[in-house]
Amino acid sequence: MKTFIKRLLQNITMVLLILVALKDIAIALPIRRHSGLHHMIIGIQAPSQMQPRGILPFLSGTLMLLLAYRLYKRVRLAWIIEIIALTVGLTYHLARHQVLPFHTVLADIFVLTVLVASYKDFARSSDRITVKRAIGFILCSFFLVLSNAAIGLFLLKADIRSIHSIYDAIYSSVKLLVLMDTDSLGMKGQAGKFYGDTLIIINWICIMASAFLLLKPLVYNPIINKQGKQKARQLVLKYGDNPMAYLALENDKKYFFGSRIEGVCAYNLAGDVFTVCGDMICDEKDGLLFLWEITDFCRKNNYDTLFINITDKFSSLLKMAGFGIIKYGEDACFLLEEYNLAGKKAAKVRAAINHANKEGIMVFEYTPQEKRDHLIEKQMQSITEEWLQQKGGMEMGFMLGGMGLNEPMDRRYFYAINTEGEMLGFVVFLPYMKGKGYLADVTRRRSNAPQGVLEKIIYDAFMVMKEEGVLWGNMGLSPLYNIPNEPGCSFTEKVFTFIYENMNQTYDFRALHHAKLKYGPTDWQPRYLAFNPRPFSLNFGYAILKVQMPKNMFKTILPNLLKLDKQQ
């Protein structure tokens, strides 16, 4: 509750700064002479203060908008600049015994109080490289503009009363660029006034450019080169116990590597939500320290944090660290030493495989790391293109991988062919638990393929892996399946249950679950969402959808929501 109130006060502060900035901009615009707008501005600010000096109000208002935005991003340097500006402004007016409107003083004091009281929240560093460039740019630009101003004013001394020597020109240049007031020079002609206004504009352009550089927040640079991916791969193979772990190597991920420990997490940004695919990938004993590094980074960058599809491995640690934990669904898992097609549970799959066997369908493993076969890969690509057409060209990501034929690495490929040698379907398996488990990640078949093609591929692949000593097979998540829905459950859990039961036009949760259920999994293992801060809010829901559908989210969801509304 305290966090909510503090954020609310901070947001009110930023809204006040935006309103003041817009007021300054409005004062500088020609439309302020419109009678209605004129009276409105008078109500906000006293007429004695409404005399704009050139474009100063417009530029200062624009700068204040930039400051407000960077304060919203919790940039430390923006906080420092705003504190200095407010303090100097109030002190200046008091020292000159100027009487400000009560609401102006009250707003300044409120903003100053909130910013000072919450200084710890404005911890996001500016980019060191751009800060250095900005300081250099400020010094160079000020020197060049000052030199130009001094020479120009000296040459125009006939039009300026206060300039008689080069020293007068230098002093007047400093005064002009600091106070930004051409009236202080005592101009006798239009040429001098025009030149002074031009210098002020140039000076403000330099100030604005410097401000953009100074206030550029530090953004973690994702390591996406081959060396970084190879480092992530080594960590995934060593510590990746979550079936989702290998998805860290997909091209839609960014990496956050531990600085004090050996670990990585694969993430993407959705708005201001740092969204992680699966668990942290590190040694369990290093989990607390790595989590601290992640949360400290998110705090400095004003990111909310969301882990999607985590296991029991780190759920207790995340809960202890203050994260909210909500069940997200269950994984269909197969303990291979116990798994077979006997009994009623797997009757449908058994029948489908028998049908495929009668059709003469055979399953083989393709090993591109040993020998590339362009005919096999061409047929896989053909099946994928046909599959994409059926899906309307939309391919989800983040929690689902691709074929990965450009970089097969540790993926395993099983495919089925008919008696004519035509490929009918294929499945890509991803390793986890140091190769003791495999996830059936990509499953695709031709639209005219006989019944049982995918069932035969998956079962035959599991049996091959079983003989190799692999412990677990996995068919992935049944999203929102078996979410608690009894009295006392959270509002979010009720929403998830409603989505599972009523929104299958958007994503067929029930059909996906039944497609996995028919294989007769030996285990259903729970998967969770972990989020901070609590409670679960719309920005987390948006992040879940956005990372998986970065390009087609609204195009995919809105038409189906409209269908749902019509049905109800």
Q: Give the integer Cα–Cα distance in Å for 146 and 208.
A: 17
**Total-model pTM:** 0.69
Q: What pLDDT sits at residue 374?
A: 93
Long-range CB pairs of 383-391, under 8 A, 24+ apart, other chains included: 383/423, 383/425, 383/426, 383/444, 383/445, 383/446, 384/444, 386/446, 386/447, 387/444, 387/445, 390/447
Q: Are 395 and 442 in contact (CB under 8 A)?
A: no
Residues 142-172 have pLDDT tens digits of 666 667 666 766 666 666 666 667 777 777 7
Evaluate the CA torsion angle 191, 193, 196, 202 in order and state its sign: negative
184 compared with 233, residue with greater pLDDT: 233
User: Where are the domains positioned within the chain?
Assistant: 2-214, 226-325, 332-479
- CA 53, 58, 59, 64 torsion: positive or negative? positive
Residue 417 pLDDT greater than 90, yes or no: yes
Exposed/middle/buried for residue 400 (C-beta within 10 Å: 0-12, 13-18, 19+): middle
Taking CB atoms within 8 Å and a gap of at least 24, the contacts of 140-147 are 141/203, 141/206, 141/209, 141/210, 142/177, 142/203, 142/206, 145/177, 145/199, 145/202, 145/203, 145/206, 146/170, 146/173, 146/174, 146/177
Q: Are 305 and 339 in contact (CB under 8 A)?
A: no
d(C-alpha 248, C-alpha 401), whole Å: 9
Please give the residue that has the higher pLDDT: either 156 or 366: 366
CB 111 within 8 A of CB 86: yes
Model pLDDT for residues 258-315, shown as the tens digit of each residue: 999 999 999 998 888 999 999 999 999 999 999 999 998 888 777 899 999 999 999 9
- Give the dihedral sign, CA 231/232/237/239: positive
Residue 191 — φ and ψ, nearest 5°?
-60, -45
Q: Residue 429 pairs with which residues in a beta bridge?
A: 412, 440
* CA geometry: angle 229, 235, 241, nearest 5 deg: 125
Task: Please identify, in words, the CATH class of the domain defined by 332-479.
Answer: alpha beta
Is the peptide bond prior to 535 cis by the omega test (within 30 degrees of 0)? Answer: yes
Which positions ≥6 away from 234 have C-beta within 8 Å? none
**Pairwise CA distance, residues 177 & 492, whole Å:** 57
Q: What is the pLDDT of residue 42?
A: 47
Q: Please compute the mean of the pLDDT values over residues 494-507 and round it to a whole number.
A: 78
Q: Residues 262-278: pLDDT tens digits?
A: 999 999 988 889 999 99
Cβ atoms 429, 412 nearer than 8 A: yes
At residue 142, the pLDDT reads 61
Average pLDDT over residues 59-79: 75
